[in-house]
Amino acid sequence: MTEAEVLLGDLVTDAGRILSAGRIPEPRREALRLWSDLVEASPADAILGRRTPVSADQVAAFLSAVERRAGGEPLAYVSGWAGFRRLTLQVDRRVLIPRPETEGLVDLVLARAPRGIAADVCTGSGCLALGLADEGQYDRVLGVDLSRDALAVASGNARRTGLVVNLLRGDLTSTLAAASIDVLVANPPYIATAEYAALDVSVRDWEPAMALESGADGLEATRRLLDDGRRVVSAGGLIALEIDASRADATAQTAHALGWQQVMIHHDLFGRERYLLAQRSEIP
């Protein structure tokens, strides 16, 4: 070993100090995560390999990632990876970072409607569409998004996972044919305009606004999905939406008023009213 060589254990320790100075919670854990994602290994490998010399290129790449994280950039964007159920997906600032809460929507849909044709509207990274394609028994899964950038990310994730999802560009359900799907699932934007400005900077300053903000009352996209969903969902089909807990009652009332049946609000893993499920009338 030459004097210029850096040992992995020392590098991770220095990274932890940088992250701590940036007020990042659990700085050592995040330093290990960043290194693991950089070299596509596990944090345990980094711990066991602390006496391993690190190349100059790896040192530079790692410290660049550490500085980005210390500057407030979300961990998933810095590392480039986010877990979603059984999948590991690539993410960047073009798409919303998949949340643990959204994973619960997949469970609810699989329990109610695991077959047929499913469409994930506002697909973003493709997490819901790919989760359904991975665990369901669907004849076809669609992923729809208005953002070309988001569709590029979703397409890359489909290739990496080997899962078949048909990606379409469109404004919510506008490109879907009448009675063409059995399951409509979506995690639409649901933050009110006034609330968006007050979001935590880790979200507001980094994640795409079009995936978060939805009009004066936060319900613009949700109302449109419930309205046009009656056209695109086949008789007896399912709509399943992630919603804002503070608007659960208003969302359910809208669904009832539009003629959806068996409207139910379900709680997420934190006990918040997070999902709306409803059935399309059997009578077209």
The separation between the first and the last C-alpha atoms of the chain, rounded to the nearest angstrom, is 75
Average pLDDT of 195-206? 91
Predicted confidence (pLDDT) at residue 228 exceeds the cutoff of 80 = yes
Q: What is the pTM of this model?
A: 0.91
Q: 27-39 and 56-70 are packed helices; what angle lies between their axes, rounded to 10 degrees?
A: 130
Q: So what's the pLDDT on residue 2?
A: 43
- Do 129 and 141 meet the contact criterion of CB atoms below 8 Å apart? yes
Residues 6 or more apart whose CB falls under 8 angstroms from that of 242 comprise 101, 102, 105, 186, 187, 188, 190, 274, 275
Q: What is the mean pLDDT of residues 62-81?
A: 94
What pLDDT score does 71 carry? 94
Kindly give, in sequence order, each residue whose CB lies less than 8 Å from that of residue 67, ignoring residues fewer than 6 positions away: 18
Rounded mean pLDDT, 59-85 = 95
pLDDT at 30 over 80: yes
- Mean pLDDT of the 147-174 span: 98
Identify the H or E element spanning 182: strand 181-186
Q: Looking at residue 283, what is its pLDDT?
A: 67
Whether the pLDDT of residue 192 is over 80: the answer is yes
What are the pLDDT digits (tens) for 2-24? Answer: 445 789 989 999 999 999 999 99
Q: How does pLDDT run across 96-129, given as a tens digit for each residue?
A: 999 999 999 999 999 999 999 999 999 999 999 9
Q: Helices 8-21 & 27-39, crossing angle to 10 degrees?
A: 130
Bridge partners (DSSP) of residue 273 are 267
Percent of the chain with pLDDT over 70: 98
For 52-67, write each residue's pLDDT tens digit. 898 999 999 999 999 9
In this predicted structure, what is the pLDDT of residue 44?
Answer: 82
In the predicted model, what is the mean pLDDT of the chain? 94
Q: Does the pLDDT of residue 267 top 70, yes or no?
A: yes
- Domains and their CATH numbers in the chain: 6-72 (1.10.8), 92-279 (3.40.50.150)
